[in-house]
Amino acid sequence: MVPAELSDLLDRPLVAALATERPDGTLQCNPMWFRFDGTEIKMSHTSTRQKIRNWDANTAVSLCITDPANTFRYVEVRGFVTGLASDLDAQFHRELRVRYGMDATNVPDAAERVVVTIRITYIGGREMADQTKT
């Protein structure tokens, strides 16, 4: 399902640009940490944010993850939010903090944390040579 030449972009602790549709039809795009388990994407969020309200109207999402060493290399993931589960004691969020090299001991918004599960319907992208190098 994942193009082999792009799979590292889903495995590495990179930041995904997550696009959602707001209730008024305009789009919203935010940087997000994630974990890919081979079939689904999971993210951590707080239950009070606009993105949670966006998913009440439309669960469709798109993510773009760019290789920081070559911005012409990226993977796009499309899918639907299929789950918002309470993240007891922010356990999943703490795992993400460790994955991204952050301190996991202090999570002030732990009580509001949820785990967002995305069912993937499409993965694609592009493996291009860095156009800035000669």
Backbone angles phi, psi at 93, to 5 degrees: -60, -40
Domain 4-126 homologous superfamily, CATH: Electron Transport, Fmn-binding Protein; Chain A (2.30.110.10)
Strand 113-126: give its sheet, edge to edge.
27-32, 16-21, 60-67, 70-86, 113-126, 40-46, 35-36
Residue 37 pLDDT exceeds 50: yes
> Is residue 112 helix, strand or coil?
helix
Query: pTM score, two decimals?
Result: 0.90
Contact yes or no for 48/80 (Cβ under 8 A): no
Tens digits of residue pLDDT in 87-106: 999 999 999 999 999 999 98
Tens digits of residue pLDDT in 1-21: 788 899 999 999 999 999 999
Report the pLDDT value the prediction gives residue 2, as an integer from 0 to 100: 86
